[in-house]
Amino acid sequence: MEEKRHTSAEYERELREIKDGLLYLGAMTEKALEKGSIALLERNSELARQIVCEDDQIDQLDVMLEEKCIRLLALRQPAARDLRFITTAIKITGHLERIGDMAAKIAEKILILNDLPQIKPYIDLPRMVEIVRGMIRKSLDALVRGDVEQAERVRQEDTVIDQLNDQIFRELLTFMMNDPHTIQVCLYIMQISKSLERIADHTEGIADMVIYMVTGKVVRHQPACVENK
């Protein structure tokens, strides 16, 4: 996105601070998910506890960012493009904060899972985490560059996550039917999978906001158009 200079350097700086804040928050949530993946695979409970603790930080950042946005709205009375950016930023921080919460929830489930016997090596869950992390990264990339195509790709990837979620569900169902002892573990795994699916939805929300910010078009609540290229 080409960046026009504002007459007021101070205003310019404040806008950039908001953008940087969003990226920082995004990087934190992404990191939380990465740690979650490691905590799950290596059964590292210490790491999982760390994630739960770090969620407070994410929450604080969210509040701070939102305050900054509102301050800017009140003091500078931005118009057009800047107004769209700031309102978008407020929504995106909300999404990121929710992602952080989800990551913390996942970490709590991992803590429990790590104390239970493992029924099979995790294969689909780490894949999901990888894809979701990629989605967060890409949606923020789209924000940085104002790249609508990238945002559109994120929206399309959401369907992959939905499929993986269903797949995990079916697989766990067979496990539970075979051996009722696995039900507890399976339910926790399902919750994790569900949380990941929710995170993917939030990244889709971010992508929607990026599209709105750049083009002014509202694509929320519309299915992603999957192009066959």
CB of 145 to other proteins, least distance (A): 8
Q: In the set 14, 15, 18, 28, which binds other proteins (CB under 8 A)? A: 28
For other proteins, which is the closer residue by CB, 107 or 219? 107
User: Going by C-beta distance under 8 Å and a sequence separation of 6 or more, which residues neighbour residue 45?
Assistant: 39, 110, 111, 114, 115
CA distance 89 to 53: 25
Interactions with other proteins, residue window 126-145 (CB under 8 A): 137, 140, 144-145
Binding mask 32-71 for other proteins (x = CB under 8 A): --x-------------------------------------
Name the 3-class secondary structure at 44.
coil
CA distance 45 to 50: 9
Closest CA to 28 of 70, 67, 56, 68: 56
For other proteins, which is the closer residue by CB, 57 or 184? 57
Judged by CB under 8 A, which stretch of 10-18, 153-161, 194-202, 217-225 contacts other proteins? 10-18
CA distance 142 to 206: 9
Judged by CB under 8 A, which stretch of 8-16, 103-111, 186-194, 205-213 contacts other proteins? 8-16
> In a 10 Å sphere around its CB, with 0-12 CB exposed, 13-18 middle and 19+ buried, how is residue 208 labelled?
buried
Interactions with other proteins, residue window 68-127 (CB under 8 A): none
CB of 27 to other proteins, least distance (A): 5
Q: Residue 81 is encoded by which pair of tokens? A: 């493009």
By the criterion CB under 8 A, which residues form the site for other proteins? 3, 12-13, 16, 19-20, 23-24, 26-28, 30-31, 34, 137, 140, 144-145
